[in-house]
Amino acid sequence: MPSYHRHDADETSARGRFMEMHEIRYFLAASQTLNFHRAADLVHVGQPALTRAIQKLEAELGGYLFHREKTRVRLTDFGRLMRTHLDEVLQRSETAKRTARSFLSLETASLTLGVMCTIGPLRFISFLNAFRERYPGIEVTVIEGAASHLTDL
């Protein structure tokens, strides 16, 4: 039965560092193609850079992700287990980036406005309508109240 654990020296070198997104992308490409050269082409890097990144990821995780043979590469059981988790990490990272871009570009966000009853309703309604036309993805909540109540909120 093959060993999936890395040597102590490898584990020691991984302490204090965190896996990087490009290492995860490279690993997922290699696990998809089962060929380091094709995986490197897929992610637009040289094969030595891909290999080093995967080795760093293995050191960080503490185990071998691939069986490396002369003519082929296969995922270890540990590699298959990690592929599921690392694919989820990559997907969540991409979702977070999309959400951030959407929020920062005001495509989607929520806005709560505190309004005192002294604001003229016609003036406020025209402001609100113009705002909604310009930013249709913004969810607007209006709270009416006295200044002291709105300040507390």
Least confident of 9-18, 61-70, 109-118: 9-18
Using the predicted structure, report yes or no on whether residue 13 has a pLDDT greater than 70. no
Helices (H), 2-143: 8-14, 21-33, 36-43, 47-61, 77-104, 121-134
pLDDT at residue 9 in the model: 46
pLDDT at residue 12 in the model: 47
Between 86 and 138, name the one with better pLDDT. 86
pLDDT at residue 59 in the model: 95
pLDDT averaged over the chain? 87
- Cβ neighbors of 52 (< 8 A, separation 6 or more) are none
Using the predicted structure, report yes or no on whether residue 78 has a pLDDT greater than 50. yes
**What is the Cα–Cα distance from 88 to 90, expressed in whole angstroms?**
5
The band of 15, judged by pLDDT with boundaries at 50, 70 and 90, is low
The band of 99, judged by pLDDT with boundaries at 50, 70 and 90, is confident
Angle at 67 between CA 61 and CA 73, to 5 degrees: 115
CB 140 within 8 A of CB 131: yes
pLDDT at residue 62 in the model: 94
**What is the Cα–Cα distance from 146 to 153, expressed in whole angstroms?**
11
What average pLDDT does range 22-36 have in this prediction?
97
- Cβ neighbors of 90 (< 8 A, separation 6 or more) are 21, 24, 25, 28
Global confidence as pTM = 0.66
Instruction: Kindly state the tokens that stand for 97.
Output: 């980036």
What average pLDDT does range 114-139 have in this prediction?
84
Instruction: Kindly state the tokens that stand for 83.
Output: 């592929």
**What is the Cα–Cα distance from 57 to 140, expressed in whole angstroms?**
44
What average pLDDT does range 40-50 have in this prediction?
97
